[in-house]
Amino acid sequence: MNSTQTLADWILDQTSDALIYAGTDGTIQRWNAASAQLFGFSIEEAMGQSLDIIIPEHLREAHWRGFDAALASGQLKLSGKPTLTRALHKNGHKIYVEMTFAMVKNEAGEVQGSVSMARDVTERIEKEKAARKQA
């Protein structure tokens, strides 16, 4: 940590869940260490990239439709409730992630971007699928 980092920076960088902040154009502006571990892209590789680097191609159109609608309305469809989705790892394999989303607004209430928290639930989902197959 350098002297320009704040307590908020330390918290975000050290939290165990992946934290991703993207501006209104969908460009990654914050990518913590847990994001790097979960998705395989280093902080340097992810910063300035489109969120598309972690969105499987077949989900991109729906993602951007929802993203644009949330930016326009300032509201989230899920109201911060966790959702299960697929994500893309740097090595190309798909993982299951549970994500929460929030709109980030300035003091005037203007949307600046969105933040998401993600955690890998692939192992749990695969076990549930296997149990259903056996039943």
> Residue 118: helix, strand or coil by DSSP?
strand
Is residue 40, in this structure, part of any structural domain at all? Answer: yes
Residue 86 identity: R
> Is 77 inside a domain boundary?
yes
Looking at residue 108, its pLDDT comes to: 94
Range of the domain at 97: 7-134
- d(CA 78, CA 76) in angstroms, rounded, equals 5
* Spatial distance between the Cα atoms of 99 and 80, rounded to a whole number of angstroms: 9
Q: What is the CATH number of the domain that holds 64?
A: 3.30.450.20
Identify whether 129 is part of a domain. yes
Structural domain includes residue 46: yes
Tens digit of pLDDT at every position of the chain (135 positions): 455 679 988 998 899 999 999 999 999 999 999 999 999 999 999 999 999 999 999 999 999 999 999 888 888 877 778 999 999 999 999 999 999 999 999 999 999 999 999 999 999 999 998 998 888
Residue 73 lies in a domain: yes
| DSSP class per residue in 21-87 | EEETTSBEEEE-HHHHHHHS--HHHHTTSBGGGGS-HHHHHHHHHHHHHHHHHS--TTTT--EEEEE
Q: Is there a domain that residue 1 lies in?
A: no
Whether 2 maps to a domain, the answer reads no
Average pLDDT taken over every residue of the chain? 92
- The domain tally of the chain equals 1
What is the reported pLDDT for 28?
A: 98
How far, in Å, CA of 5 to CA of 26, rounded? 24
The predicted structure's pLDDT at residue 3 = 59
